[in-house]
Amino acid sequence: MAGRSNVGKSSLINAILNRKSIARVSHTPGKTQAVHFYLINSRFYLVDLPGYGYAKVSQSVRRTWDALVQGYLDSSDDLRLIFLLLDSRRVPPAADDLRMHEWAVATGADERILLTKTDKLSNNELAKSRSGIAAELDLDQKSLIACSAVTKRGIEDVRREIASRL
């Protein structure tokens, strides 16, 4: 799981695992400052990478996070799937999001874009967002999974993506 600070990674992880507090949810961006490994049913790891972008931390700490994330992506032999979480309300995606997308593609692992916080958009707004993000990433908009940890929209789709690689 990769994405900006405050994109909803922890909330989405909890929704996918159908648990309330596996991943620590904070209202302060940048709380995930390490790579967190969650062993799921003794079968696979779900990995939560530190958020990038907005966080009240120094530039040197941000550079450390970048090195940590890129190092993990480059060196993980067991990496099968990268979920890149993008806030559905941010069109176009930020430069940091585009860079993470490029890193994910460079790994050779499958990548799925998850549009988070879709409960905050109307269906028309979501359609425009999906179209704009897909165009910016040069992807088919049908490949984007619209998600909400609040309404549970898209959670089963994410679970199917995980299960298809086990």
String of DSSP letters for 14-58: HHHTT-SSSSPP-SSTT---S-EEEEETTTEEEEEPPPBSS-SS-
Q: How many residues appear in the chain?
A: 166
Cα(155)–Cα(166) distance, rounded to whole angstroms?
17
**Residue 159: what are its φ and ψ, rounded to 5°?**
-60, -40
Q: Which two tokens stand for residue 126?
A: 């979501």
* Cα–Cα distance for residue pair 116/158, rounded to 1 Å: 12
pLDDT in tens, 60-94: 766 676 778 888 888 888 899 999 999 999 999 99
pLDDT of residue 55: 55
Share of the chain above pLDDT 90, in %: 57
Residue 32: pLDDT band by 50, 70, 90 thresholds?
A: low
Q: How many CB atoms lie within 10 A of CB 154?
A: 21
Share of the chain above pLDDT 70, in %: 86
Q: What is the mean pLDDT of residues 115-141?
A: 96
DSSP H/E element including 146: strand 145-146
CA distances from 18 to 6, 40, 49, 101, 155 (A): 20, 12, 20, 27, 10
* Domains in the chain: ranges and CATH: 2-163 (3.40.50.300)
Per the listing, tokens 């549970």 go with 152
